[in-house]
Amino acid sequence: MRRVPVGWQEARAMAYDDSRFRGEPGFREEPDFRSGGVPEDAPTLGVVNQSVYTPGSFPVSPAYGSPAADEPVGRRRAPTTQQLGDVFDDPEHGEPGRDRFAVHALWELVLLLTGGALLYLLRDASPAALRGAELHALLLSGAAFGLITVAMGLSLRAGAPNLAVGPVALAAALFFAANSNRGLLTTALITGLVALGAGVVIAVVVVGFHVPGWAASLGGALALIAWIADQPDAKLVAGAYDPHGHALWWAIGVAGLAIGGGALGLVRPLRRSLGRFRPVRDPADRPGGGARAFTGFAIAGSAVLAAAAGVLVALTDRGVAAAGATASFGGFTVSVLALGAALAGGTSAFGRRGGVLGTALAVVVVTLLLRYTQAEGWKLQPAALAAGAIGIGLVVTRLVETFGRPRTAREIAEDAPWTPPSITPPQPEPEDNWSPPSSRTGGWTPGAYGNTAYDSTGYGNTGYGNTGNEAPRESDRGWGVEERWGTR
């Protein structure tokens, strides 16, 4: 057995057991990896059954997670004004965001060109239709039909189409003409109040029971048709106001009403509030009180507008024939024709969405088409024209719903200009400030725990057993290997 030098045993005991080394510069105590790599004096944060505090993980919201695979990586953009405005849009009232109006502008251009073509054809077919009394009759006919179409468009915007506007107009005309001897202004106000009452009844049924507007108004229309069938012919009192002298102003006023209503529809909060009755998920779900209030006002207002149209018809024709009313199904044909004109003008069949000039232009097209077919001697039934207008209007509704809905976040991101990420030029590597051991400060001080000298072999000679610069023996160079790395 090899003999261990006495000095080496003492140096080994001081190097690993002496606590004086634990405060010296350059000393580091490694953790015990057999216990999980956690020091014994780690904090426990007051937990009784947990000896060491380990940080947990928290779920990350998808909105703040990593970007999608197809999302361009670059500098994060600040939210736009449109995105900030979308925050206040309730998803329960429809898609957040501003509706797009390019599709309305293009379709209104088509209607404008169509109206211009019909006007040119009518001038060639019957030049007298655009002059004198015939022109006044044409303008008043368009104004009356325009009021009914505006009434239908208002209820359509609210998501509850009022199919009773035609019977309401005809009933108002009969009532006004039969009672015109009591004063025109007074009778007109009473007629408006009666029509308002009929509209309120329909509105209460629609918003109270939350049923489709077309179904409730259809029931109201049938009730009015039954009343109209029992009424005699009515003639206006002699000396009553004649609107033929102000036909142009009536037409301009109705056109301004239609265009003004469309312009108000551009106001984002008003448009969204008026269209809140439009179903978002389940159509049978009851909307809030605000949606019911706006829908009720729209239905009642449409009845009042229809009554105004009836009064204008009675003043224009100087009376109303009950036989003609029965032939037109009690005014129901006027209702479906107004529905077709409103749909063809760009008002969505689902509610909320609509254009600005579309309703006025559609009224012009329908009025000119009826007068043109009459000038040519063609027998075009209003019901057939209504069917064609509704068919075209349904196609327009699909276009409006496809290209008029707000843009999605992905579409906005695709259209936004891409901002390249900022590139930081590479920084030069720091210079190596390493200095030889002879110029360093601190660390091991020779002679503090015995004089140590290093020879070319890298073994130090301490004062423990070796003196001076005497090199250790070859038999001592591998001392301690068996004890430190050997098997136990």
Listed residue (309, 143, 308, 310) closest to 234, CA to CA: 310
Q: Name the one residue in this structure whose structure tokens are 């706006």.
A: 294
Q: Do 197 and 178 form a contact (C-beta atoms < 8 A)?
A: no
The CA distance from 372 to 330, in Å, is 25
d(CA 403, CA 417): 22
- DSSP for 97-111 reads SPPP-HHHHHHHHHH
- 421-431 burial string, b = 16+ CB within 10 Å, else e? eeeeeeeeeee
**Which of 275, 310, 69, 276 lies closest to 188 in space, CA to CA?**
310
Q: What CA–CA distance (Å, rounded) separates 247 from 204?
A: 36
**Consecutive H or E run containing 453:** strand 453-454
Per-residue model confidence (pLDDT) at position 278: 78
Six token digits for residue 436: 């030889």
State the pLDDT at residue 88.
40
pLDDT score recorded for residue 414: 58
Does residue 460 contact residue 452 with C-beta atoms inside 8 Å? yes
Task: Specify the residue for token string 């009851």.
Answer: 286
SS3 of residue 367 by DSSP:
helix
CA gyration radius for the chain? 46
CA dihedral (110, 116, 120, 125) positive or negative: positive
Q: 351, exposed or middle or buried, with CB in 10 Å at 0-12, 13-18, 19+? A: buried
Phi-psi region of 200 (alpha: psi -120 to 50; beta: other; left: phi over 0): alpha
- Locate all alpha helices (DSSP H) within 163-212, ordered by sequence: 165-178, 184-209
Q: How many CB atoms lie within 10 A of CB 90?
A: 11
> What CA–CA distance (Å, rounded) separates 416 from 131?
54
Instruction: Copy the structure tokens of residue 435.
Output: 């200095």
**Separation CA 138–CA 147 (nearest Å):** 14
Angle (deg, nearest 10), helices 132-157 and 289-317: 170
Tell me the C-alpha distance between 427 and 436, whole Å.
27
Q: Contact 298/154 with Cβ under 8 angstroms? A: yes
Q: Alpha carbon 171 to chain centroid distance?
A: 41
Amino acid at site 251 = A
Q: How far apart are CA 338 and CA 350, in angstroms?
A: 16
445: left (phi over 0), alpha (psi -120 to 50) or beta: beta
Contact 163, 221 (CB under 8 A): yes
Alpha-carbon torsion (314, 319, 324, 325), positive or negative? positive
Question: pLDDT tens track of the chain, all 488 residues?
Answer: 555 555 555 555 555 445 554 555 555 555 555 545 555 555 554 545 555 545 554 444 444 445 555 545 444 455 555 444 444 444 554 555 677 888 999 999 999 999 999 999 999 999 999 999 999 999 999 999 999 999 999 999 998 999 999 999 999 999 999 998 888 899 999 999 999 999 999 999 999 998 999 999 999 999 999 998 888 888 887 778 899 999 999 999 999 999 999 999 888 888 777 877 777 777 777 777 788 889 999 999 999 999 999 999 999 988 887 766 655 667 899 999 999 999 999 999 998 888 999 999 999 999 999 999 999 999 888 999 999 999 999 999 999 989 887 766 555 555 666 666 666 666 666 665 666 655 555 555 554 444 444 444 444 444 444 444 555 555 555 555 444 444 44
Quote the DSSP letter at residue 447. B
pLDDT at 325: 61
What is the spatial distance between Cα 119 and Cα 134, in angstroms, rounded to a whole number?
A: 14
Residue pair 192/308 in contact (Cβ under 8 Å)? The answer is yes
Q: What are the structure tokens assigned to 92, written together? A: 């329960």
Q: Rounded distance, CA 8 to CA 202, Å?
A: 109
Q: What is the pLDDT of residue 64?
A: 44
Whether this model's pTM surpasses 0.85: no
Q: How far apart are CA 173 and CA 180, in angstroms?
A: 10
Tokens of 56: 């947990």
HSE toward the beta carbon, residue 46, CA cutoff 13 A: 0
* Full DSSP string of 421-449: PP-PPPPPPPP-----GGG--SSPPTBBT
**Nearest-CA neighbor of 332 among 437, 208, 229, 248?**
229
